[in-house]
Homo-oligomer: A and B are copies of this chain.
Amino acid sequence: MSRKLLIDIHTHLYLPRYAQLLRARSQIPRITTLNGEERLVILAGEAATGRPVGPSYWDRDAKLRFMDTHGIAISIVSPANPWLDFLPPAPALQTCEALNSDLEEYCATSPEVELGGRRRKRLYGMGYLPVVPGQEVGGVCAAVEALGKLPHIKGVILGTQGLGKGLDDPALLPMWESIAKAGLVVFLHPHYGMPPEVWGAQENGHVLPLALGFPFETTTAVARLILTGILDKLPALKLLLAHSGGALPVLSSRLASCIAHDPVAASRLAHDARYYLGRMWYDAVAYGPEELAFVVPTRGTDRLLCGTDHPFFPPLKGEEMWMSVTENLDAVENAPGWSEGEKEGVRGGNAVELFGL
């Protein structure tokens, strides 16, 4: 393990109970078997073959080995998409409770590491919320309260569908209030991308939905959320954006200008749109030093936190070090103009601060 503290705040898992749930399904999302090997199918376009899935998704020892290989001291693990999005309201509540309890145990029984003179676990978690179409928001709030009482759960992971109308649905206000009150971090993460017709008819594999669709989805969800004024209403709400906020940072001044040219939208916000970007946190999963440095041009580096996106993007040739990890760590190392102290903050100090480790 590297001598310098490295904390991974963007690292996923399917708990064994969740993998079982997917194996029992006949529709997407599901785990199926092809030529004797398990395959994961979570996107409509991959129905024919799916993608390899295995212990790296659910085995805790595999996660710890990956951490050791890459010098990661602590991981804040979060369930991988599509979470509970496909369940009806009542099963979503029950499954949510069981999975969050599994996640607490996964973390609570993990090995320890020394951090600032104290013993800490190597694994902490961000839990599920039962946000599915048709769910009563009261059920979601109860799940938030329950999560807040689990000692190794530090946040929630949230997709963009909400109760079926997205995250800017006014019906979600009590959820945001209860999350802010519980002091949980919201890790906002994409799954749906953009409607598939925008990628056209040429065969480009998953390149466009992953490279563009994911960041577009996050960007859209956050912009819609900003436009509700929720960040004025709830100053304590902590939003952590996947993939460095997608395209939001580079479009923030265009967004601000479009709002300024629209009297109705402008009247709902207490600040220029760019102010709210400074109120959020971002993972350092931007794949290049210039892109990474751009996420924080005027906002400082203290809201940027390292992530690996494990177990996605495994190496094609079975190398021990994952390129998807090293290129993001290299980006931190080579970000133009950052001091050593700033780099150490991004690698670990900022995560200690945000998650109160």
Q: Which of B168, B201, B255, B258 contacts A165 (CB 8 A)?
A: B201
List residues of chain B with CB within 8 A of the CB of A264: 203, 205
CB 8 Å contact bits of A283-309 with B (1 = contact, 0 = none): 000111011001001100000000000
**In the bound complex, what is the Cα–Cα distance between A313 and B254 (angstroms)?**
12
Contact B253–A286 (Cβ < 8 Å): yes
Contact A251–B166 (Cβ < 8 Å): no
**Oligomer copy total:** 2
Q: Which of B169, B199, B216 contacts A247 (CB 8 A)?
A: B216
**In the bound complex, what is the Cα–Cα distance between A231 and B201 (angstroms)?**
19
Contact B216–A257 (Cβ < 8 Å): no
List residues of chain B with CB within 8 A of the CB of A202: 168, 224, 227-228
Q: Which of B212, B251, B258, B265 contacts A255 (CB 8 A)?
A: B212
**In the bound complex, what is the Cα–Cα distance between A288 and B243 (angstroms)?**
22
Contact A327–B257 (Cβ < 8 Å): yes
List residues of chain B with CB within 8 A of the CB of A205: 262, 264-265
**In the bound complex, what is the Cα–Cα distance between A202 and B243 (angstroms)?**
25
List residues of chain B with CB within 8 A of the CB of A263: 316
Asked whether any CB of chain B lies closer than 8 Å to the CB of A149, the reply is no
Q: Which of B198, B201, B227, B298 contacts A290 (CB 8 A)?
A: B298
Asked whether any CB of chain B lies closer than 8 Å to the CB of A345, the reply is no
**In the bound complex, what is the Cα–Cα distance between A313 and B243 (angstroms)?**
31
Q: Give residues of chain A (203-252) contacting chain B, Cβ–Cβ below 8 Å.
A: 203-208, 210-212, 215-217, 219-220, 223-224, 227-228, 243, 246-247, 249-252
Asked whether any CB of chain B lies closer than 8 Å to the CB of A259, the reply is yes
* Least Cβ–Cβ distance between A347 and chain B, in angstroms: 19
Contact A253–B203 (Cβ < 8 Å): no
Asked whether any CB of chain B lies closer than 8 Å to the CB of A110, the reply is no
List residues of chain B with CB within 8 A of the CB of A331: 253
* Least Cβ–Cβ distance between A197 and chain B, in angstroms: 7
List residues of chain B with CB within 8 A of the CB of A260: 323
Contact B254–A287 (Cβ < 8 Å): yes
Contact B220–A207 (Cβ < 8 Å): no
Instruction: Give me the 8 closest cross-chain CB pairs, A-B, nearest first.
Output: A253-B288, A247-B247, A253-B287, A211-B258, A290-B297, A250-B250, A211-B255, A205-B262
Provide a sorted-by-A list of 16 A–B residue pairs whose CB atoms are within 8 angstroms. A165-B200, A195-B197, A199-B224, A206-B262, A207-B265, A208-B223, A208-B224, A212-B223, A212-B247, A252-B288, A253-B288, A254-B286, A254-B287, A261-B324, A290-B298, A297-B336
Other contacts beyond A246-B247, A294-B297: 12, CB < 8 A: A165-B201, A194-B220, A204-B224, A205-B264, A211-B255, A211-B258, A212-B216, A212-B220, A212-B247, A212-B255, A253-B291, A261-B316
